[in-house]
């Protein structure tokens, strides 16, 4: 369905040099990675022993290691996962950066294109006994599992086995896969087996599906395979998993290798009970790795969990986890959870194979001790990611695999999903309100982020290519000029005033009118004046730090419409006469839940997200803050406004959310805008003096303002950037004992 498009990456000169180093840097002779050979000739480089994860050393000994890794996604901006667009250059550059960060392994979720394996072999060729390893994930038929709610239904098991067969053959460079929509294909000829660390089978299990499978198939005998078997306590679902692990082993054995095996699991289906969890589904059923055991597999077996400090809600609400305090005196419920979980696996290694926080303006879950899902700048992201890594290490886990290596623009999350329309254009822009897109320690920055530094000086704007910048055409006394441009992430404004800007005395407003409708600003915002022929949907307000924000017209307010009486009706109604024309821009953090739907009542929680942070995006400065929105210096004001704050559902096709009633009380619709009519004015702080495009007139016809408009785009521009969190991970990896 999605056609491939040309992609222009603006790689910096530095990145090119780094990539060049891959070829130039390792000319010295190194001994190749060694493998232990069994009596029958089977080879091993890793195994498990008790609760330890072991690596075979070149001196012929087995040594315990702490696995330090990152999860690698399959996309770059402008693409969806099934397209697998990464090139050899991308992989080689990333491998080098990951290696230099101090990670010893990359986990991939599914079979990548042949170029991944050939690039890894190429990269490791000169790395001797210190290669970069990978963990091969094998995707389950997830959609069918959720749809059928039964792992034994249809040919789900058969499909899963076909995927396992493909993965094993791909790793050993022994298969040609014919093209299929949304899946990797091609000739797999590079044998990457000696760089494999482990097999990671399956996905996060839907609790309803697990429960239903167990109830429906109570008569299924426990699976007994030659390599893996269910124990007498194995549930029907665990037996199903035992068979898949056994099949994985059987496939690999053909190539003369044995590697440690695990299946994917997450907190939702862990083996602990969570009395403080409001949702039944989050504490409904267990999938227990102890109920599957190796029978004839010397390669080893371990448990793997995806575990984040803010999901499910019990990390915040369960008093039984409020036992360990952090340095700030807050409860470290994550550490308490890890301790309880590890205590269940005394004789088995456990790895946390997904954890982390995103660096994003948007936020969608609160965690304990500020370890929220979003709302962090890159520095804070790094501090939290590093501290989580340390918690995992300190609690005796065998490994920690961070989520994740790169930002992925196609990703979605529950609290902005209803506003990103059409959904299939998500990969063509970066909505910084969607935290899920920004988990990477490698940022994927929108096209102009490196060209326009938000620091209050407009000199950098002079370097933008001809035609990329437009000048606002109206006249406002006190404003010399307003320059406008945009990219995949933001609308940028560069304003030059007659006099120096002083937020103590002056406030700058910029109304943004995109479609018919909108609200008249309040008498305090625009004293003594009136707009005609249109009104803004959103209002940019620049003044003192605590008041600088984007507000949204009351009638247009997505949040109010979705969670107020038009939609879920979880927000109280405004009292008559008390509503303001513009509301703070908010995102939902947690929905209201009540028994009998949930165990106990849980309030509706939301958070203002439209505040504009003043600072600098200059990475060379100590005060660099990746969440910076604006700055002023002398008579110049510079800002970047995230698209969604201006009402955009997809800037790449100029779609904005419209005013029509929600479909089924839940779904928004969009309309194409001809552009943005920007209405700037200056107001005396606490006074009534206004300087606006209407001059001395009391009214202004908004239609007289020419809209800022642009061509829709299908090609994205972006640049890669190692975030501050990359450095934080590098530091913590160096501190942790391990094999590096």
Binding site for Ca ion (CB under 5 A): 453, 455, 457, 460, 513, 517-518
Distance CA 97, CA 730 (A): 10
Q: Is 223 exposed, middle or buried (0-12, 13-18, 19+ CB in 10 A)?
A: buried
Query: Taking the complex as a whole, how short is the minimal distance between the CB of residue 79 and Ca ion, in angstroms?
Result: 30
Where on the phi/psi map is residue 686: left (φ > 0), alpha (ψ -120 to 50), or beta? left
Residue with Cβ nearer Ca ion (354 or 537): 537
Residue with Cβ nearer Ca ion (326 or 460): 460
Distance CA 457, CA 632 (A): 7
Q: Using alpha carbons, select from 464, 498, 501 the residue that is nearest to residue 480.
A: 498
Neighbours of 572 (CB within 10 A): 9
Query: Taking the complex as a whole, how short is the minimal distance between the CB of residue 465 and Ca ion, in angstroms?
Result: 16
Residue with Cβ nearer Ca ion (430 or 453): 453
Name the DSSP class of 15.
H
* Helix ranges restricted to H, 396-442: none
Residue with Cβ nearer Ca ion (201 or 700): 700
Query: Taking the complex as a whole, how short is the minimal distance between the CB of residue 681 and Ca ion, in angstroms?
Result: 16
Determine the number of helices (DSSP H) and then strands (DSSP E) in the chain: 12, 41
Distance CA 359, CA 379 (A): 8
Query: Taking the complex as a whole, how short is the minimal distance between the CB of residue 433 and Ca ion, in angstroms?
Result: 21
Name the DSSP class of 708.
B
DSSP 54-80: EEE-TTS-EEE--EEEEEE-S--TT--
SS3 215: helix
Residue with Cβ nearer Ca ion (151 or 646): 646
Residue with Cβ nearer Ca ion (516 or 524): 516
Find residue 542's DSSP bridge partners. 508
Distance CA 639, CA 445 (A): 16
Residue with Cβ nearer Ca ion (5 or 496): 496
Query: Taking the complex as a whole, how short is the minimal distance between the CB of residue 676 and Ca ion, in angstroms?
Result: 10
Query: Taking the complex as a whole, how short is the minimal distance between the CB of residue 458 and Ca ion, in angstroms?
Result: 6
Q: How many CA atoms lie within 13 A of 146 on its CB side?
A: 8
Residue with Cβ nearer Ca ion (184 or 719): 719
Query: Taking the complex as a whole, how short is the minimal distance between the CB of residue 632 and Ca ion, in angstroms?
Result: 11
Residue with Cβ nearer Ca ion (258 or 449): 449
Distance CA 378, CA 359 (A): 5
Q: Is 227 exposed, middle or buried (0-12, 13-18, 19+ CB in 10 A)?
A: buried
Query: Taking the complex as a whole, how short is the minimal distance between the CB of residue 375 and Ca ion, in angstroms?
Result: 25
Distance CA 512, CA 438 (A): 27
Residue with Cβ nearer Ca ion (55 or 677): 677
Query: Taking the complex as a whole, how short is the minimal distance between the CB of residue 527 and Ca ion, in angstroms?
Result: 21
Q: Is 694 exposed, middle or buried (0-12, 13-18, 19+ CB in 10 A)?
A: buried
Residue with Cβ nearer Ca ion (309 or 534): 534
Query: Taking the complex as a whole, how short is the minimal distance between the CB of residue 515 and Ca ion, in angstroms?
Result: 5
Residue with Cβ nearer Ca ion (418 or 647): 647
Distance CA 14, CA 619 (A): 15
Distance CA 101, CA 440 (A): 13
> H or E stretch including 390?
helix 378-394
Residue with Cβ nearer Ca ion (410 or 632): 632
Residue with Cβ nearer Ca ion (243 or 455): 455
Query: Taking the complex as a whole, how short is the minimal distance between the CB of residue 455 and Ca ion, in angstroms?
Result: 5
Distance CA 46, CA 25 (A): 27
Name the DSSP class of 723.
-
Through-space distance between the first and last CA atoms of the chain, rounded to whole angstroms:
44
Query: Taking the complex as a whole, how short is the minimal distance between the CB of residue 532 and Ca ion, in angstroms?
Result: 12
Tell me which residue has its CB nearest to Ca ion: 518
> H or E stretch including 229?
strand 228-230
Query: Taking the complex as a whole, how short is the minimal distance between the CB of residue 705 and Ca ion, in angstroms?
Result: 12
Query: Taking the complex as a whole, how short is the minimal distance between the CB of residue 513 and Ca ion, in angstroms?
Result: 4
* Helix ranges restricted to H, 7-101: 13-24, 88-101
Residue with Cβ nearer Ca ion (604 or 659): 659
Q: Is 527 exposed, middle or buried (0-12, 13-18, 19+ CB in 10 A)?
A: middle
Query: Taking the complex as a whole, how short is the minimal distance between the CB of residue 198 and Ca ion, in angstroms?
Result: 47
Residue with Cβ nearer Ca ion (360 or 616): 616
In whole angstroms, how far apart are CA 162 and each of 10, 169, 244?
A: 39, 11, 11
Burial 582-602 (b: 16+ CB within 10 A, else e): bbbbbbbbbbbbeeeebbeeb
Name the DSSP class of 191.
-
């Amino acid at each position: 369905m999605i056609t491939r498009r040309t992609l222009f990456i603006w790689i910096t000169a530095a990145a090119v040099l780094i990539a060049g180093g891959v070829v130039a840097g390792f000319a010295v002779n190194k001994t190749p990675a060694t493998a232990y050979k069994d009596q029958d000739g089977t080879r091993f480089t890793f195994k498990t022993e008790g609760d330890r994860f072991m690596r075979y050393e070149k001196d012929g000994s087995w040594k315990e290691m702490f696995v330090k890794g990152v999860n690698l996604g399959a996309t770059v901006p402008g693409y969806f996962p099934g397209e697998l667009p990464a090139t050899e250059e991308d992989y080689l550059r990333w491998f080098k950066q990951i290696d230099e960060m101090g990670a010893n392994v990359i986990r991939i979720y599914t079979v990548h294109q042949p170029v991944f394996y050939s690039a890894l072999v190429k990269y490791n060729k000169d790395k001797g006994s210190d290669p970069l390893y990978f963990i091969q994930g094998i995707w389950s038929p997830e959609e069918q599992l959720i749809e059928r709610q039964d792992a034994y239904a249809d040919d789900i098991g058969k499909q899963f086995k076909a995927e396992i067969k493909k993965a094993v053959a791909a790793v050993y460079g022994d298969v040609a896969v014919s093209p299929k929509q949304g899946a990797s294909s091609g000739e797999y000829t590079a044998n990457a087996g000696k760089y494999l660390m482990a097999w990671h089978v399956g996905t996060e299990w839907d609790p309803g599906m697990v429960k239903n499978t167990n109830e429906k198939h109570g008569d299924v005998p426990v699976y007994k395979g030659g390599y893996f078997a269910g124990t007498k306590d194995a549930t029907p679902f665990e037996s199903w998993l035992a068979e898949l692990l056994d099949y994985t082993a059987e496939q690999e054995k053909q190539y003369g290798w044995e590697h440690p095996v695990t299946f994917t699991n997450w907190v939702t289906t862990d083996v602990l009970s969570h009395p403080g969890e409001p949702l039944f589904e989050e504490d409904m059923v267990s999938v227990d790795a102890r109920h599957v055991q190796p029978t004839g597999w010397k390669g080893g077996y371990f448990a793997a969990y995806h575990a984040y400090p803010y999901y499910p809600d019990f990390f915040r609400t369960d008093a039984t986890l409020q036992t360990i305090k952090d340095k700030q005196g807050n409860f470290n419920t994550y550490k308490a959870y890890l301790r309880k979980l590890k205590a269940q696996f005394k004789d088995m290694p456990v790895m946390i194979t997904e954890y982390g926080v995103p660096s994003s303006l948007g936020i969608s879950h609160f965690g304990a001790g500020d370890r929220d899902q979003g709302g962090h700048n890159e520095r804070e992201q790094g501090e939290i990611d590093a501290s989580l890594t340390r918690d995992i290490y300190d609690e005796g886990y065998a490994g920690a695999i961070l989520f994740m290596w790169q930002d992925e623009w196609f990703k979605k999350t529950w609290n902005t999903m209803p506003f990103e329309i059409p959904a299939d254009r998500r990969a063509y822009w970066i909505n910084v309100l969607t935290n899920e897109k920004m988990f990477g320690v490698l940022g994927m920055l929108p096209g102009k982020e490196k060209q326009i530094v938000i620091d209050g000086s407009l000199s950098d704007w002079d370097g933008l290519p001809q035609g990329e910048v437009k000048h606002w055409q109206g006249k406002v006394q006190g404003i010399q000029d307003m320059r406008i441009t945009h990219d995949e992430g933001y609308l940028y404004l560069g304003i030059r005033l007659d006099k120096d800007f002083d937020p103590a005395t002056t406030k700058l407003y910029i109304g943004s009118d995109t479609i018919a409708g909108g609200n008249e600003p309040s008498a305090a915002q625009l004293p003594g004046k009136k707009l005609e022929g249109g009104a803004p949907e959103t209002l940019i307000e620049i003044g003192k730090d605590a008041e600088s924000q984007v507000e949204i017209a009351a009638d247009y307010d997505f949040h109010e419409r979705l969670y107020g009486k038009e939609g879920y009706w979880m927000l109280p109604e405004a009292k008559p006469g008390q509503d303001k024309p513009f509301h703070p821009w908010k995102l939902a953090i947690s929905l209201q839940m009540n028994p009998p739907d949930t165990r106990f009542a849980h309030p509706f929680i939301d958070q203002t997200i439209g505040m504009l942070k003043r600072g600098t995006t200059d990475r060379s400065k100590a005060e660099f803050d990746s969440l910076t929105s604006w700055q002023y210096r002398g008579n110049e004001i510079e800002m970047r406004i995230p698209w969604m704050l201006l009402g955009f559902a997809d800037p790449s096709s100029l779609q904005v959310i419209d005013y029509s009633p929600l479909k089924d009380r839940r779904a928004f619709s969009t309309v194409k805008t001809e552009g943005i009519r920007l209405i700037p004015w200056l107001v005396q702080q606490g006074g009534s003096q206004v300087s606006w495009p209407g001059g001395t007139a009391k009214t202004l016809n908004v239609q007289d303002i020419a809209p800022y408009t642009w061509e829709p785009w299908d090609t994205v521009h972006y640049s890669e950037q190692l975030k501050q969190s990359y450095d934080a991970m590098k530091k913590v990896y160096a501190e942790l004992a391990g094999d590096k």
